[in-house]
Amino acid sequence: MVVGIVVAVVVPAVGGVLGSSYLSYTDEPGGGPGTEPVAQCVLSGDLRSQAHVSSFRLLQAPADENSGMRHSHCMWGQTKGKDGPDPRTLGFHVYDYTEFSEKDDRNVESAKGSYNGFTSYAAGRQAKPVDGLGDEAMIVIPAGADDLTEVNLLVRKGAVVWNIRYSGHDKGFFTDAGFPVADAEAVAHKTAEELISK
C-alpha cells in the first residue's frame, strides 16, 4: 500500500520534470524580429530563408569619417516562431579600405594585408581556397564537437574584406547534432556572392 502511494506520487512528479525539461528543450530558438539592416548588411529574402535567419542586429556600425578603414559587424539570428526549431546564426564583418587613404593601390594592399592576417589563423585547420569569389577567398571548417556545425568564409575583393561565419545545430530528441557542412558552406558562399555584388 505504501509502495503504491509512493509510486503514485513519484512517477507523476518525475514525468512532470522530464516533460517540462523536454518542452523547454524543444522550444523554438530566437527572439524578436530585430531591426532594419544597414546597406552593407542587407541579405535577400531567399538567402535568409535558406539560412533560417530573419532577425538582424548591427553589432558595429562603420564610423562616419571621410578616411580610414570602415568596419561593420552584421549579425543575423532567428525570429522565434518563424525560422524553425534548429538554432542558426549568420554573422559577418566587413572591413572596407576603399577610403583608407587617397591612394587606391595602398588601399588594396591594406585589404590584402588584412586578408592575409585572417587566413594565417587557418594554419593547421581544415581550410581550402574557393574559386570564383572576389579576388581571393578561403573557407575554414573548424574541427569541433559533433553537436555543432560551423564554417568561416574569408573573401577579399579589391579593397574590401569580408569575414563570414555561419553556425548552428539540429535538435534531436534529447541531444543536439551538427547539420551537414555542405549546407553551411552553401549559405556562406551565397552570402559572399550577395555581399561582393553590392
Q: What is the pLDDT of residues 76-95, one digit of tens each?
A: 999 999 999 999 999 999 99
DSSP assigned state of 103: -
Name residue, grid cell 562603420: 62
Residue with cell 568564409: 153
Phi, psi of 24 (to 5 degrees): -65, -40
Q: What's the CA gap between 191 and 121, in Å, rounded?
A: 21
Identity of the amino acid at 80: K
Query: pLDDT of 168-188, one tens digit each?
Result: 999 988 788 999 999 999 999
Best CA proximity match to 89, nearest among 75, 101, 103: 75
pLDDT tens sequence across 17-54: 333 334 344 456 666 777 899 899 999 999 999 999 99
Q: Are 161 and 95 a contacting pair, CB within 8 Å?
A: yes
* Cα-based distances in Å from 136 to 34, 59, 123, 156, 195: 32, 26, 17, 5, 14
Stretch (H or E) spanning 127: strand 126-129
Phi, psi dihedral angles at 85 (to 5 degrees) = -85, -15
The per-residue pLDDT for 30 is 66
- Residue 15 neighbours by CB under 8 Å, 6+ apart: none
The letter for the amino acid at 189 is H
